[in-house]
Amino acid sequence: MTQPAADKVRFNFVTQCPRDDGCGVFVLQMLTGKPYDQIAGMIDWGVQTNHYTTWKELRGVLTALGWQTGGLRKAESWDDVCGVAVVDVEGDHFILYDADNGVFL
């Protein structure tokens, strides 16, 4: 895979190491520019030790930060995604996708 042109990248990429949990938190970090600890602190995981996130939690953080989120939609292909989207891939992993520039983060 080739790297996208620098002028097409609108978000700072944050690397998630295999040992890290919370891909949703990393996506929110890239999208909002907020630090990991601030985003993670906005989610109540209760007694969970692994910080896996759900759509409800992701949308809750964005709402708390004053973002308006669109409804959930099923996409049959990447061509069905428009603008900037948080995408749930294979039911257990979130990525940030900038469809306008064809950049996956």
pLDDT category of residue 1 using cuts at 50, 70 and 90 = very low
Q: What is the mean pLDDT of residues 74-78?
A: 87
Q: What is the mean pLDDT of residues 56-70?
A: 88
pLDDT tens for residues 6-59? 565 566 666 665 555 678 888 898 888 888 889 888 988 778 777 788 888 889
pTM of the model: 0.75
What are the angstrom distances between the C-alpha of 28 and each of 1, 2, 5, 11, 93?
Answer: 24, 24, 23, 11, 13
Kind plus residue range of the DSSP H or E element containing 97: strand 93-98
Contact (CB, 8 A) for 92 and 23 = no
